[in-house]
Amino acid sequence: MTTYRAPIQDSLFVLNDVLQIQKHNNLPGFADATPDMIEAILGEAGKIAEEVLHPLNEAGDRQGCTWHEDHSVTTPAGFKQAYDLYSESGWGSLPFPEEHGGQGLPATLNAAVQEYVAASNMAFGMYPGLTAGAAAALIEHASDEQKQAYVPKMLAGEWSGTMNLTEPHCGTDLGLMRTKAVPQDDGTYKITGQKIWISAGEHDLSENIIHLVLARIEGAPEGVDGISLFIAPKYLLDDKGNPGDRNSLSCGSLEHKMGINGNATCVMNYEDATGYLVGTQHRGLKAMFVMMNEARLGVGVQGLAQSEVAYQNAAIWARDRLQGRSISGVKFPDQKADPIVVHPDIRRILMTVRAFNEAARALIYWTTLKGDISRRSDDADQVQSADDYMELLTPVVKGVITDTGFNNTVLSQQVFGGTGYTTEQGVEQFVRDARIAMIYEGANGIQALDLVGRKLPANGGRAVQAYFKEVGKLCSSHKENDAMAPYIVPLSKALSDLQAATMWLVQNGMSNPDNAGAASTDYMHLFGLVALGHMWALMAETAQQKLASGSDQSKQFLENKLLTGKFFMDRIIPASATHLVRIQSGADTMMALDAEAF
Amino acid sequence: MTTYRAPIQDSLFVLNDVLQIQKHNNLPGFADATPDMIEAILGEAGKIAEEVLHPLNEAGDRQGCTWHEDHSVTTPAGFKQAYDLYSESGWGSLPFPEEHGGQGLPATLNAAVQEYVAASNMAFGMYPGLTAGAAAALIEHASDEQKQAYVPKMLAGEWSGTMNLTEPHCGTDLGLMRTKAVPQDDGTYKITGQKIWISAGEHDLSENIIHLVLARIEGAPEGVDGISLFIAPKYLLDDKGNPGDRNSLSCGSLEHKMGINGNATCVMNYEDATGYLVGTQHRGLKAMFVMMNEARLGVGVQGLAQSEVAYQNAAIWARDRLQGRSISGVKFPDQKADPIVVHPDIRRILMTVRAFNEAARALIYWTTLKGDISRRSDDADQVQSADDYMELLTPVVKGVITDTGFNNTVLSQQVFGGTGYTTEQGVEQFVRDARIAMIYEGANGIQALDLVGRKLPANGGRAVQAYFKEVGKLCSSHKENDAMAPYIVPLSKALSDLQAATMWLVQNGMSNPDNAGAASTDYMHLFGLVALGHMWALMAETAQQKLASGSDQSKQFLENKLLTGKFFMDRIIPASATHLVRIQSGADTMMALDAEAF
């Protein structure tokens, strides 16, 4: 049995104190997000996560989804009731514009809510999560008519959404796609093909499922520039806009997976299914990338979420489990043994995970706030800068937070000893669930390539240069501040490693692109250390200011922040040096072996 | 579907060329291990692993073991036939002394065989693996009568063995043990208590199961010095030495686990079960540690084994899967895409795993050879030195090879993208199976403490000083050798990091033991980098000598060795610097938070 408690105090600290999102109340929707309102919303979100979603997590894993002969799929017991409650409470519409039926609240606030959902029950959270991504793509690219027909129902949770990209022979390389779309006289298309790994492709939670499908219109150019995006609803809408005739698409089978068993991962078969073109012909990939970017941040949230719930359970076990004696002297002489939290190596695990989680949470909010600004500000410079940052950091959030988040579930499991290996205990599910986040929405190697090959050089390196300047400025501003030195000195060192790595890439990646590829994953993780270190410096700055000003916030909370940040600087950020050495070793040894030698 | 091919060529290279075990043919049993004999034995072992054991691996995971109302346990279909073949072929007796029914061959050779077994089917391999550990403990500590009664049958596989340590409230801290033993007038004991996580505790493979059980004799001192070791057979032996009356012990249930589902992990209930004291009263832990040390090296083998089978499958997928184009230019213009092995980031994964596996294999053989020398040599100095090394390296082999081996299964899974997350593909089982190796036989945090707290200071640091001298001597011997510089320079650097860390521990671990605890895991991994780097230097030296002498060994094989070793030196060993920084940061930040703050 596992437990979960939404880290509301920590969310509030980042939103209100570190990012001070109230400063942005000139943006649409932000004025509504007063500190009281934020606290109330997070309180409610925490409640549904703790009391409704988490209790379904283990049973959902064990029971999984069931495919029936009539191609319908049943979700685990309790999911439907939870889904209805979730939808009726408005959680599906929180950050979307009011004109489409949303509540218009900041996406930054929604990121906190989604962490709680993904931590309490990742498999469940994917159903509304996919719908949100599909709705975002429609809002950005669909016609007004299409938006009116689909988006409000999706935000209300009455209908759900999916994204259909992968085919058996084509995952990362979408240019190989074969699913075809044949234009019909009435302006619709007939879609035929097979899609795999379709999360939430078929289920019993919503009354309609709106599939967004990538396909190649007959006669389209080869490669990624010949792919178009279509809406293919499970039930075609009748003339009143209600679900009518069944479309000729169905779930052929469910994948059997390592984890996220509560989510239906479907093979979807389209046989002359009716589809409606979204946006322009052959520009489908661009439209889908809106969804992908939203989804990538969402997957980063999952990485943090699983790391957080794993940490919480490990911490409880470490405080309760009596085993051995502290090596620095007995701590609880009246008990037969000390709790294992007295052992430094257990502390090492807990602090490693905690120091990551708190910074990852801040980084996700920070990046999502850039997205809010990019979408809502009417100041062109501000939009450009925010957009640059969001684009730059998205692969870092996705790649680093899911890689490290997964490692953290493994570390947390280790605290339990043998107990952690049993399904009854439950922490092993976090490991299995977290594993997928490193793979889907672009495997992390692809995130690294996106960062190195696309995001760095974009606009002549404008984003990364601005970013280095911002982090550098923060460091300089505390040059004379002894209290901040434990945070600023290590961050400056890591920043200079990152700058050296960037320079190396500029000098060596052009002449031999394999050097860029060989460096990419280490570069992404080096970037992640700086980005997380940046968050720790901001959090330490805030905590010190609040402590100095005699804030009424818990002194203990602020002091623990400072200690946890110090741990990050002592133990985690120094890995930047190793990443730099690896990057600078180049591609030669890596590429030397013949393919047949492997 | 996964596949497995025993890495015989690599085993032969390490045994014959690097370690030159023929040089030790003055040791009992070694003269029989001629190169031809070794090749024949490894060929046969490879065959059973590839053709019999691996085909049962996936089905064994899915079917698992079944507990019946009569407290019997059925293993997965096919396991019994495979077990009989394994036993009849003599694999269970290979390294044991001939006087007990063994074949007397080197344990070093057996380590290679056991890698193949654990790679092809880890859950299966645990059944004979536990028997071997129990037999080793009996050979060391039991009376002649007990040895005669039990050991030959165990080595023949007719009977199997277990080790019973853990209780629900006591895992690492065996001093808390409650299972009690009451002396009877006939010299036997009645054992009562519950043991958990008993691997192979009950099954249908052998006609008797010989449980080695730790228990506390009534009136014994508290703590670990009051624990005795007992033989408690499932069937008591009749006067002809055959299985007779059922002993009053039984399997109460099976654990449901993350992996190794083909192995029966039992809750064992003892209710006035008849037990026979092994060795001296209250000295049971010492006897059990013989078994534990054997078992720890065996678990290290499992870590390598899962890493190897995961690598092999990832390599095949990387050569076959067509996706994307090489960033340095199209490699296969006649195909729609290039195989993913052209992508540097895929190479990074494959090379990382491969460079570890080859060195880990050498390190396991090297350490096991020390064990062979320690047990078989009659030269007291040689025995002491070999024993020192084996003791020193055992926690490194167990902790580092299982931690890294697990990470490597995760890396290998990543090569498959979404496919790797499905149970059908099968590589996810390697991840789940490998995970337990970090936990059992002493969780890896305990290995690290064993290294830092027990093995380093033993005999005034004699073992570690000798080890540093040996590695240092190798480095010095190549000082003028340019061809060896790519291996020797990085190894020297890592060795000096390890020496600095050791010095730091000496200076700071005494005054504050928490500093030692806080450093322990990083120290173990830093030690591992040096130990693996040492193996790479030896392998590179051998490969260069053979290439220079125009050996008839495949030139390609030797050149690939050199490239793979170079990758290790470029990309993996430099992490030593980060470990050193972490170690030197001390325990303060780690221990600062109140326990309640977690």
pLDDT digits (tens, 9 = 90+) for B11-59: 999 999 999 999 999 999 999 999 999 999 999 999 999 999 999 999 9
Select which of B115, B167, B428, B441 is catalytic: B441
CB contact under 8 A, B413 and A435: yes
- Among A406, A418, A571, the residue with its CB nearest the CB of B166 is A418
pTM above 0.80, yes or no: yes
- The Cα–Cα gap between B436 and B441 comes to 10
Which residue in the block uniquely carries the two structure tokens 């593909």? B425
CB contact under 8 A, A414 and B169: no
- The Cα–Cα gap between A401 and A396 comes to 7
pLDDT of residue B223: 86
Q: Buried b vs exposed e over B92-102: b needs ≥16 C-beta within 10 Å?
A: bbbbbbeebbb
Chain A residues close to B591, C-beta within 8 Å: 344, 347
Residue type, A225: D
Q: Which of A169-183, B149-163, B196-210, B226-240 has the lowest mean pLDDT?
A: A169-183
Helix H or strand E segment including B36: helix B35-48
Which two tokens mark B484?
């060896």
Nearest to B581 by CA among B528, B532, B519: B519
Helix H or strand E segment including B5: none
Which two tokens mark A170?
């084509």
- Give residue-wise pLDDT tens across range B306-326: 999 999 999 999 999 999 999
Contact in structure between B430 and B259 (CB atoms under 8 Å): no
CB contact under 8 A, B413 and A422: no
Give the distance from residue B417's alpha carbon to the nearest chain A alpha carbon, in angstroms.
Answer: 6
pLDDT of residue A224: 86
Nearest to B415 by CA among B429, B430, B427, B432: B427
Nearest to B351 by CA among A504, A521, A404, A409: A521
Give the distance from residue A531's alpha carbon to the nearest chain B alpha carbon, in angstroms.
Answer: 19
Which two tokens mark A551?
């804030």
Chain A residues close to B257, C-beta within 8 Å: 421-423, 428
pLDDT of residue B553: 72
Residue B441 is a catalytic residue: yes
- How far, CA to CA in Å, does A42 sit from each of A49, A115, A201, A304, A555? 10, 11, 29, 17, 22
CB contact under 8 A, A593 and B418: no
Helix H or strand E segment including A275: strand A265-278
Would residue B512 be called left, alpha or beta, if left means φ above 0 and alpha means ψ between -120 and 50 degrees?
beta
Residue B339, classed as helix, strand or coil, is strand
Cβ neighbour number for residue B180 with a 10 Å cutoff: 17
Contact in structure between A444 and A521 (CB atoms under 8 Å): yes
Residue A73, classed as helix, strand or coil, is strand
- The Cα–Cα gap between A20 and B280 comes to 69
Contact in structure between B83 and B90 (CB atoms under 8 Å): no
Locate the chain B residue with the closest alpha carbon to A257: B422
pLDDT tens per residue across all 598 residues of chain A = 999 999 999 999 999 999 999 999 999 999 999 999 999 999 999 999 999 999 999 999 999 999 999 999 999 999 999 999 999 999 999 999 999 999 999 999 999 999 999 999 999 999 999 999 999 999 999 999 999 999 999 999 999 999 999 999 888 888 899 999 999 999 999 999 999 999 999 999 999 999 999 999 999 998 889 999 999 999 999 999 999 999 999 999 999 999 999 999 999 999 999 999 999 999 998 888 777 887 899 999 999 999 999 999 999 999 999 999 998 899 999 998 999 999 999 999 999 999 999 999 999 999 999 999 999 999 999 999 999 999 999 999 999 999 999 999 999 999 999 999 999 999 999 999 999 999 999 999 999 999 999 999 999 999 999 999 999 999 999 999 999 999 999 999 999 999 999 999 999 998 899 999 999 999 999 999 999 999 999 999 999 999 999 877 789 999 999 999 999 999 999 999 999 999 999 999 999 999 999 9
Contact in structure between A343 and B597 (CB atoms under 8 Å): no
- How far, CA to CA in Å, does A244 sit from each of A134, A185, A251? 21, 21, 18
pLDDT of residue A286: 84
CB contact under 8 A, A344 and B591: yes
pLDDT of residue A510: 86
CB contact under 8 A, B341 and A598: yes
Helices (H), B438-508: 444-449, 458-477, 485-508
pLDDT of residue A309: 98
Contact in structure between A370 and A386 (CB atoms under 8 Å): yes
CB contact under 8 A, A440 and B420: no
CB-count exposure of residue A11 (10 Å: 0-12, 13-18, 19+): buried
CB contact under 8 A, A589 and B566: yes
Locate the chain A residue with the closest alpha carbon to B582: A571
Which residues does A19 contact at the CB level (< 8 Å), separation at least 6? A108, A362, A365, A366, A369
Locate the chain A residue with the closest alpha carbon to B511: A328
> How does the average pLDDT of chain B come out, rounded?
96
Which two tokens mark B16?
């014959």
Nearest to B94 by CA among B314, B464, B323, B372: B372
* Residue B388 confidence class, pLDDT cut points 50, 70, 90: very high
Q: What are the φ and ψ backbone dihedral angles of A497, each rounded to 5 degrees? A: -65, -40
- How far, CA to CA in Å, does B54 sit from each of A27, B5, B7, B10, B414? 61, 9, 14, 20, 22
- The Cα–Cα gap between A102 and A254 comes to 32
**Is the pLDDT confidence value at B552 over 80?**
no
- How far, CA to CA in Å, does B72 sit from each of A153, A184, A501, B130, B160? 55, 65, 61, 19, 15
Locate the chain B residue with the closest alpha carbon to A265: B422
CB contact under 8 A, B423 and A336: no
Locate the chain B residue with the closest alpha carbon to A453: B327
> How many CB pairs lie under 8 A apart between chains A and B?
255
Counting DSSP H helices and E strands in chain A, the numbers are: 18, 11
CB contact under 8 A, A346 and B315: no
**Residues forming a β-bridge with A371:** none
| CA pseudo-torsion sign A316, A320, A326, A330 | positive
CB contact under 8 A, A176 and B323: yes
Chain B residues close to A444, C-beta within 8 Å: 414
Give the distance from residue B347's alpha carbon to the nearest chain A alpha carbon, in angstroms.
Answer: 6
- The Cα–Cα gap between B356 and B406 comes to 12
Chain A residues close to B440, C-beta within 8 Å: 418
CA atoms within 13 A on the CB side of B200: 27
Q: Which of A172-181, B141-150, B448-457 has the lowest mean pLDDT?
A: A172-181
- The Cα–Cα gap between A176 and A222 comes to 8
pLDDT of residue A38: 97
Residue A71, classed as helix, strand or coil, is coil
- Which one of A302, A487, A598 would you mutate to disrupt binding with B, by most B Cβ within 10 Å of its Cβ? A598
* Residue B172 confidence class, pLDDT cut points 50, 70, 90: confident
pLDDT of residue A514: 96
Residue A162, classed as helix, strand or coil, is strand
CB contact under 8 A, A563 and B428: no
Residue type, B11: S
Catalytic positions of A, please? 441
Q: What is the DSSP letter of A75?
A: P
- The Cα–Cα gap between B222 and B199 comes to 27
Cβ neighbour number for residue A149 with a 10 Å cutoff: 18
Give the distance from residue B152's alpha carbon to the nearest chain A alpha carbon, in angstroms.
Answer: 32
- The Cα–Cα gap between B86 and A201 comes to 46
Locate the chain A residue with the closest alpha carbon to B350: A598
Which two tokens mark A15?
């939103």
- Among A431, A571, A591, the residue with its CB nearest the CB of B585 is A571
**Is the pLDDT confidence value at B288 over 90?**
no
Chain B residues close to A320, C-beta within 8 Å: none
- Among A341, A513, A592, the residue with its CB nearest the CB of B327 is A513
CB-count exposure of residue B387 (10 Å: 0-12, 13-18, 19+): middle
CA atoms within 13 A on the CB side of B245: 6
Which two tokens mark B583?
């170690």
Give the distance from residue A521's alpha carbon to the nearest chain B alpha carbon, in angstroms.
Answer: 7
Give the distance from residue A244's alpha carbon to the nearest chain B alpha carbon, in angstroms.
Answer: 34
A208-217 and A159-164 beta bridge pairing: parallel
- Among B196, B406, B422, the residue with its CB nearest the CB of A257 is B422
CB contact under 8 A, A256 and B327: no
Contact in structure between B361 and B371 (CB atoms under 8 Å): no
Report residue B139 CA to chain centroid gap: 20
ipTM over 0.95: yes
Residue type, A155: L
Give the distance from residue B447's alpha carbon to the nearest chain A alpha carbon, in angstroms.
Answer: 11
Locate the chain A residue with the closest alpha carbon to B335: A176
Q: Taking residues B566-577, what's their average pLDDT?
A: 98
Give the distance from residue B574's alpha carbon to the nearest chain A alpha carbon, in angstroms.
Answer: 6
CB contact under 8 A, B327 and A445: no
Beta strands in A425-466 (DSSP E): none
Q: What is the DSSP letter of B221?
A: P
Contact in structure between B133 and B291 (CB atoms under 8 Å): yes
Helices (H), A332-379: 344-376
Give the residue, A449 or B510, on which the prediction is more confident.
Answer: A449
- The Cα–Cα gap between A340 and B170 comes to 12
Contact in structure between B430 and B310 (CB atoms under 8 Å): yes
Which residue in the block uniquely carries the two structure tokens 């449901």? B256
- Which one of A571, A572, A582 would you mutate to disrupt binding with B, by most B Cβ within 10 Å of its Cβ? A571
Contact in structure between A535 and A572 (CB atoms under 8 Å): no
